[in-house]
Structure 1
Amino acid sequence: MTDITISRRAALMGAGAIVAWASSPARALLAEADPQALPARIEAIVQRMTLEEKAGQLQLNAAAWSGGIATGLNPPSNGPSFEGQVADAVAGKLTGVFNGNGAEMARRMQDAVMRQSRLKIPLIFAADVIHGHRTIFPVPVAEAASFDPDLAMRTARMAAYEAAAAGIDWTFFPMVDIARDQRWGRTMEGAGEDPLLGQLFAAARVKGFQGRTLADADAVMACVKHFAAYGAAESGLDYNSVDLSERTLREVYLPPYKAGFDAGAMSGMASFNEINGIPSHGNPWLLRKVLRDEWRFPGFIVGDYTGDEEMIAAGFAKDGKDAARIALLAGVDMSMQSNLYAQHLPALVREGAVPQAVLDESVRRVLAVKHQLGLFDDPFRRIDTKRETARSRTKPALALSREAAQKAMVLLKNDGDLLPLAPSRRIALIGPFASGQHDLNGPWVVYGDNNQAIDLATGVKAAGARNVSVTPGSGVEEPLAGGIDAAVAAARAADVVVLAIGESETMSGEAQSRTAITVPAPQMALAEAVAATGKPIVVLLKNGRGLALEGAVKDAPAILVTWFLGSETGHAIADVLFGKVGPSGRLPLSFPHESGQEPYYYAHKATGRPAPDGPRQPYKAQWRTSPNAALYPFGHGLTYGKVSYAAPVVPATLPWDGRIEVAATVTNSGTRPCEELVQLYIRDRVASITRPVREMKAFRKVALAPGKSERVAFTLTREQLQFLGKDLQPTVEPGTFDVWIAPSAQADGVHGTFDLVRLGVRSGRS
């Protein structure tokens, strides 16, 4: 996908900019040093810099020239005009900007810096490219429902291809926070509740954005965020405190970050939350001991939007100067938006409050990454207005968006095989999301446009349905005058109702925590009224989190989770509704029975009084009105086939240094082909540290033609059974393990047991 016809000079305003860069002190210093000795080359530049220029290299701000969407995504600030921001960049007060207005803006800023600044250190341009640039893909949690990391790599690669053409060097993605409380609005940005799935998608997205090498003109540097454990915010409240044991932090929340860094991400972002009383922006244990000393991370850490300054309100820093000192010493290399580093670091160094060596080390990291991005070789390598247009919303990009949307949808329920529908049936599209260019792309889209996305009604009609009525029935969070009466009339005149309900874009995402994760009351009233007509109902859920389904929605014969699917929403939904493709997605998070179960996740502990299967018993770990289980568990999802599991093969023992193969036969006895997600779970029955009731260890997708079977096998080794022992070091103990090959975290599938043995001992603990 690399554009091999790029002309570097085509991006420049004229010969003056070329000459300015060619003769710049920074480029000259790089050229003088051994090309293989990157530290020495960077050091030569650092030694030339003033304290103010060094502080400027650690200051990143929102672009003064940005689009309306970008402006609305972050809290307002009284920043400079575009001309003022250019002047700051020329004066060495900025390392770069984010969420700017495309290649033309980047060209003007970079040209000014290359012509007029003292050292001519290139700017870096960043953006929130979360699930697409101009072509929008499903929100990340929806994409995770595909259980297809390769798909995530491909959508990230395409997003980078588009974004790099617009002058973007760096994206603030992937978000890899484990989300086990569905009240948290930012669930939609990650991969759900499971650490293994989180690790696989973190690595895939990093590799997709960064491509073969960061210096390629279609590569965009990834930023692993939010470090760390932001998804564990108390009560699912955004920006709230996190209180975790180090064991849970290391076993559940940290692995996806490490996977992203191990995949090559050269930047990370500190999280807004505190952990055990210490804000992440001021946590040297997290940012230095774990990240630098243990993981050997070589890149740089950027603060989140005014995250360093927010330590003042949190009661951790006295004032802005104190916050800047704390953040840099803790390991935040770059400050975002607060301007605290530019304002205070020079004085802090002169006063001895911050060692110059600490400042210089952060500057080296930033310059080294700019070098890896190829910016010292060509500051304009990603800035080309013609290429920006040519790469935007291409046919391959839109085809990939449609494929990703198809694979993201999850069929929760299909009583009586109501789906797929025949296009010849009389269909009543009802609900606030039945039609219209709104709420299609989803939250956290900076450059996409809902007006370019395909809505449901358009997609259904394009698929060949001719007898289709469209009735909103209600607003998202407010009733419509006469809406229910019109919807009931439409339902009565139809053979089947397709009820498009759920959350709007503004109900999910950052700062959109919910206390009740239910379908809003006006839409529930609509659903109840339509259900009373007795017509069969297919519910299409629009959501960015797991929902607690109630009443007529819960009781509908068919429920399809459609999330926020992006540019090709309507076409993709119609493909699944009418059976052009079968549903293949699975839930990457649990749907609870009630909101009050949150936080809920499948890999919970049994407790000393586990709730039994069967009739309710008193004094057990259960709620008064709900079981200690999900309504729809992690991994759940139906197909248009009829899949069964049989013939388990589980050897009796796993040798300490050996391996075993566990297997099951999966059969599609239905009349339609399907793609089944076969999942492997284990449980360590007795251990020195209590273990979850189940942990996913592997999964595999299997295509099954009607009437066909396939034997699906997984290999297990001792390493896959490890956990953190009493000393917080990886360990594994001999003993008995349960193993399931199943279609979800709560399904039985097929079950067996094996013993991990060492020196002939079949059970017990080491």
Structure 2
Amino acid sequence: MFRKIQLWLLTMLLTSFAYSQTKTTSQAMYKNASLPVATRVKDLLGKMTVEEKAGQLNQLTGGAFTGPALNDAGQQAKMQMVREGKIGSMLNVIGAAETKAIQEIAVKESRLGIPLLFGYDVIHGFKTIFPIPLAEACSWDLDQVQKNSAVAAREAAAAGIHWTFAPMCDISNDARWGRVMEGIGEDPWYGGLISAARVKGLQGNGDEKHILACVKHFAAYGAVESGREYNYTDMSRVSLWNKYLPPYEAAVKAGAASVMNGFNTFEGIPVSASKYLVTDVLKKKWGFNGFLVSDWNSFGEMVNWGYAGDREEAALKALKAGSMIDMESKLMIEYIPALVKKGKITVAELDQAVGAVLAAKFKLGLFESPYKFSDEAREKNTMFTPENRQQALEAAQGAVILLKNNNHVLPVQKTPARIALIGHYANSADDAFDFWIAQGDAANAVTLKQGLETVWPGNRISFTPGYLADGSSTNALIDEAVAQAREAEIVIVNIGLSGKLAGEDRSLAAPVIPEGQVQLLKALKATGKPVVAVVTAGRPLVLTAIEEYTDAIVYGWILGTESGNALANIISGKVNPSAKTVVSFPYAVGQIPVYYNHFQTGRPVETDGKGNWFSRYRDIPREPLYPFGFGLSYTSFKYEGLKLSSNVIGRTQPLQVSVTVANTGEFDGEEVVQLYIRDHAASIIRPVKELKGYQKIYLKKGESRVVSFTLRSDALSFYDADGNKVLENGAFTVFVGGNSRDVLEAGFELK
């Protein structure tokens, strides 16, 4: 009897142990933070239905899910989809309370408790708005760029955001394109440095004070034909590899967690379905193991392009190419289960895509702490702080470019009896913000009028609009402006384009100064008073029409929250401008696209001795009005003594380049010393100049310094059509100067 009791107890004990092991295993595999991410992903995939897997590839826009929204049928339907595991990520759900509310549904009410990712367009700030990315790049200050992104990430993360759809790494030469403002300019090497800095700033160490970066728009979206949004792109693979891909690669190598497909095409295929770009280049050649997301409905738009006969075929082509998350077109959730059932997509192919998304969630720690980003107390204490505003001010000051300064009109150091401030935009915070302002509030933005009044209080600033909100003017407005100018010592005129014309779906056929503003400047110049034009816009405008009517031109871009303070500090001389262009400023619209790193052509100069038969325009210069890398200071810099360590180097031998730079003016200041090369003959034609190095240095008045660079073989290489680096012997020229046009040069040979 006792023996039977022992056996019974042993049986019960073993059964209990086995049950506990089964239960522990089923829980611990994907919920056990001590296990490798790959192990957890594999376990979770094994527990998911095909429908739940498709759900992880379905991203929908959100909005509010608390308060009155609880009674909205559309929002209720989305919440039900979350419960059923049919949504893996959401965009535009903002705020700690809102994100926590919907995350609780995902974690507590769905079968497997898989947390959501919350994404949002944090392009140049969240609550504290920084300069547009194009302007920020003009600082040539990578540390500052990284800090700016870190502030934006910290604010966004405090509002429950895990992931931003930035940085944009599209090289663009086209001022007509509205999204040029989001980018990095026209140089692929420098664009790569900026892109990597932004990724590092956004992602940091991966804690709850940073957010996931998303490299976009992969690939070559900046080359849209005629600068028109959502348009066709076409280029050779040589051009793709040498001009457009380097910034994306730099951002990926910096650790970017995700990549976004573009709206465009490559080799006749919408890039969302380009196996060459998504799988062969991004995943295989670069080793990217993060996840991808479409741009808004770009999977569905394959039907519009005529590349897919219907939505099901579009879903199939996107997944087969290696693309993953579907933003807003709902193709994946609607058609993936049927495609798997039909055998057109294998479970392994689906698991590869879904696994990458799940891995990101595991790495963020969302399974262990799904609400760690949704902290209302932290949200309250993080937004729009004095420290954040100070960083935004420094960023804005670093982005302002002095393009012209005849007779040292600027800075205005002595206190003038009266300054005539003219221009509608100078007193319009609403026009100082662009399309991508996240949670920024124009009511918090500092206008130019406010900034100048802070520097020069006591009613020294008179103001009149001079033109209307659309840039047009009237005789009455111009007459009033002229009357005020006659009573002032100096005239400051804020012209350009409203920030509302910068961003997505804001392409312009003629990115020029409005005619009403030109006529205003003409009338003001006739008063004989010094005229300072402060140009604000989200793109490089054609400024040729205003050159003769201005004594100084300050390019103020769209600078964000601290715009007015930054511009006032520049104008008053509290800050010496140091920014340099990262895009060429066109002489005329007909030049566009215009860029410094163009090719020589077969007929670079006249061929008949009479000024004929060469590559040019008959009616305008072929050179831009302001070249790449250009920007003045209140002081002056002299370059001399360019030296190379050798006239002949071997393929593994570095070349030392040095130049003496002296501050020959009356102010302390910063200078961006730029190094370019030219490869004179190669198996593939090379640009006339390519930026390969720079240093931003500070020199006191009268100080000089020897600036040194090291050129290695990688800088002398280029890509072939297959994306392989090629180094070829031959003659090279090194150029060093303060911009791409005004340079010293010396030659060497690579053997």
Q: State the match for 2:7 in structure 1.
A: none
* AA of the residue aligned to 1:435: N
Once residues 712 and 724 of structure 2 are traced to their aligned partners in structure 1, the CA distance between those partners, rounded to angstroms, is 18
1:555-612 alpha-carbon deviations (Å, 9 max, x no partner): 4121111111111111111111000010010001000110110111100001111147
Change (3 A) 1:80 1:680: farther
Change (3 A) 1:333 1:26: farther
SS of structure 2 residue aligned to 1:632: coil
1:332-369 alpha-carbon deviations (Å, 9 max, x no partner): 11000111111111111111122222111111110001
Root-mean-square deviation over aligned CA pairs: 1.9
1:669-728 alpha-carbon deviations (Å, 9 max, x no partner): 111111011000111112222111100000001111111111111111222100124765
Q: State the match for 1:37 in structure 2.
A: 36
Q: State the match for 2:493 in structure 1.
A: 499
Deviation for aligned residue 1:24: 12
TM-score, structure 1 length as denominator?
A: 0.91
Once residues 81 and 26 of structure 2 are traced to their aligned partners in structure 1, the CA distance between those partners, rounded to angstroms, is 18
Q: Aligned ranges for residues 104-503 of structure 1 at < 5 Å?
A: 104-212=97-205, 214=206, 216-422=207-413, 424-425=415-416, 426-466=418-458, 467-480=460-473, 482-503=476-497
Q: State the match for 1:75 in structure 2.
A: none
* AA of the residue aligned to 2:57: L
Whether 2:593 is the aligned partner of 1:594: answer no
Once residues 507 and 379 of structure 1 are traced to their aligned partners in structure 2, the CA distance between those partners, rounded to angstroms, is 38
SS of structure 2 residue aligned to 1:325: helix
Once residues 65 and 444 of structure 2 are traced to their aligned partners in structure 1, the CA distance between those partners, rounded to angstroms, is 20
SS of structure 1 residue aligned to 2:196: helix
SS of structure 2 residue aligned to 1:291: helix
Q: State the match for 1:690 in structure 2.
A: 685
Task: Please say if residues 137 and 404 of structure 1, whose CA atoms lie closer than 8 Å, have aligned partners that are also in contact.
Answer: yes
Deviation for aligned residue 1:550: 2.8
Change (3 A) 1:26 1:80: farther
Whether 2:566 is the aligned partner of 1:572: answer yes
Once residues 465 and 547 of structure 2 are traced to their aligned partners in structure 1, the CA distance between those partners, rounded to angstroms, is 16
Whether 2:736 is the aligned partner of 1:738: answer no
SS of structure 2 residue aligned to 1:528: helix
Identity of aligned residues (%): 41
* AA of the residue aligned to 2:437: V
Once residues 551 and 298 of structure 2 are traced to their aligned partners in structure 1, the CA distance between those partners, rounded to angstroms, is 46
Once residues 592 and 555 of structure 1 are traced to their aligned partners in structure 2, the CA distance between those partners, rounded to angstroms, is 18
* AA of the residue aligned to 2:52: E
* AA of the residue aligned to 1:509: G
Once residues 27 and 183 of structure 1 are traced to their aligned partners in structure 2, the CA distance between those partners, rounded to angstroms, is 55
| Uncovered stretches (5+) of structure 1, i.e. residues with no partner | 1-22, 68-78, 758-766
Task: Please say if residues 89 and 96 of structure 1, whose CA atoms lie closer than 8 Å, have aligned partners that are also in contact.
Answer: no
Deviation for aligned residue 1:292: 1.1
Task: Please say if residues 171 and 187 of structure 2, whose CA atoms lie closer than 8 Å, have aligned partners that are also in contact.
Answer: yes
Once residues 274 and 323 of structure 2 are traced to their aligned partners in structure 1, the CA distance between those partners, rounded to angstroms, is 9
SS of structure 2 residue aligned to 1:405: helix
Once residues 82 and 45 of structure 1 are traced to their aligned partners in structure 2, the CA distance between those partners, rounded to angstroms, is 28
* AA of the residue aligned to 1:251: N
Whether 2:93 is the aligned partner of 1:100: answer yes
Task: Please say if residues 65 and 101 of structure 2, whose CA atoms lie closer than 8 Å, have aligned partners that are also in contact.
Answer: no
Q: State the match for 1:58 in structure 2.
A: 57
SS of structure 2 residue aligned to 1:631: coil
SS of structure 1 residue aligned to 2:216: strand
Task: Please say if residues 237 and 721 of structure 2, whose CA atoms lie closer than 8 Å, have aligned partners that are also in contact.
Answer: no
Q: State the match for 1:17 in structure 2.
A: none
Task: Please say if residues 241 and 720 of structure 2, whose CA atoms lie closer than 8 Å, have aligned partners that are also in contact.
Answer: no
Q: Aligned ranges for residues 667-678 of structure 1 at < 5 Å?
A: 667-678=662-673
Once residues 544 and 522 of structure 2 are traced to their aligned partners in structure 1, the CA distance between those partners, rounded to angstroms, is 10
Deviation for aligned residue 1:751: 1.3
Change (3 A) 1:479 1:729: closer
* AA of the residue aligned to 1:719: D
Deviation for aligned residue 1:478: 4.7
Task: Please say if residues 471 and 497 of structure 2, whose CA atoms lie closer than 8 Å, have aligned partners that are also in contact.
Answer: no
Change (3 A) 1:27 1:204: farther
Q: State the match for 1:540 in structure 2.
A: 534
Task: Please say if residues 460 and 571 of structure 1, whose CA atoms lie closer than 8 Å, have aligned partners that are also in contact.
Answer: yes
Task: Please say if residues 65 and 102 of structure 2, whose CA atoms lie closer than 8 Å, have aligned partners that are also in contact.
Answer: no
Once residues 236 and 719 of structure 1 are traced to their aligned partners in structure 2, the CA distance between those partners, rounded to angstroms, is 32
Deviation for aligned residue 1:55: 0.8
Deviation for aligned residue 1:528: 2.0
| Uncovered stretches (5+) of structure 2, i.e. residues with no partner | 1-22, 67-71
Task: Please say if residues 424 and 465 of structure 1, whose CA atoms lie closer than 8 Å, have aligned partners that are also in contact.
Answer: no
* AA of the residue aligned to 1:199: G
Deviation for aligned residue 1:654: 2.1
SS of structure 2 residue aligned to 1:592: coil
Whether 2:505 is the aligned partner of 1:511: answer yes
TM-score, structure 2 length as denominator?
A: 0.93
Which of 118-127 and 318-327 deviates more? 318-327
SS of structure 2 residue aligned to 1:183: coil
Q: State the match for 1:11 in structure 2.
A: none
SS of structure 2 residue aligned to 1:397: helix
1:138-185 alpha-carbon deviations (Å, 9 max, x no partner): 000000000111111101111111110000000000000001111111
Task: Please say if residues 654 and 717 of structure 1, whose CA atoms lie closer than 8 Å, have aligned partners that are also in contact.
Answer: no
1:5-54 alpha-carbon deviations (Å, 9 max, x no partner): xxxxxxxxxxxxxxxxxx9999643245x834322211111111111111
Task: Please say if residues 501 and 523 of structure 1, whose CA atoms lie closer than 8 Å, have aligned partners that are also in contact.
Answer: yes
Change (3 A) 1:480 1:693: closer
Change (3 A) 1:27 1:272: farther
Once residues 493 and 453 of structure 1 are traced to their aligned partners in structure 2, the CA distance between those partners, rounded to angstroms, is 29
Task: Please say if residues 434 and 501 of structure 2, whose CA atoms lie closer than 8 Å, have aligned partners that are also in contact.
Answer: no
SS of structure 2 residue aligned to 1:157: helix
Task: Please say if residues 411 and 583 of structure 1, whose CA atoms lie closer than 8 Å, have aligned partners that are also in contact.
Answer: yes
1:432-475 alpha-carbon deviations (Å, 9 max, x no partner): 21112222233311211111111111111111354111111112
Task: Please say if residues 64 and 80 of structure 1, whose CA atoms lie closer than 8 Å, have aligned partners that are also in contact.
Answer: no
Deviation for aligned residue 1:729: 2.6
SS of structure 1 residue aligned to 2:157: helix
Change (3 A) 1:25 1:530: farther
SS of structure 1 residue aligned to 2:691: strand
Task: Please say if residues 441 and 564 of structure 1, whose CA atoms lie closer than 8 Å, have aligned partners that are also in contact.
Answer: yes
Task: Please say if residues 26 and 120 of structure 1, whose CA atoms lie closer than 8 Å, have aligned partners that are also in contact.
Answer: no
Change (3 A) 1:115 1:25: farther
Task: Please say if residues 63 and 94 of structure 2, whose CA atoms lie closer than 8 Å, have aligned partners that are also in contact.
Answer: no
SS of structure 2 residue aligned to 1:609: coil
Instruction: Number of aligned residue pairs: give it.
Output: 719
Change (3 A) 1:582 1:522: same
Change (3 A) 1:175 1:554: farther
Task: Please say if residues 133 and 183 of structure 2, whose CA atoms lie closer than 8 Å, have aligned partners that are also in contact.
Answer: yes
1:49-81 alpha-carbon deviations (Å, 9 max, x no partner): 1111111111111113299xxxxxxxxxxx963
* AA of the residue aligned to 1:642: S
Once residues 155 and 45 of structure 1 are traced to their aligned partners in structure 2, the CA distance between those partners, rounded to angstroms, is 37
Deviation for aligned residue 1:370: 0.6
Task: Please say if residues 673 and 704 of structure 1, whose CA atoms lie closer than 8 Å, have aligned partners that are also in contact.
Answer: yes
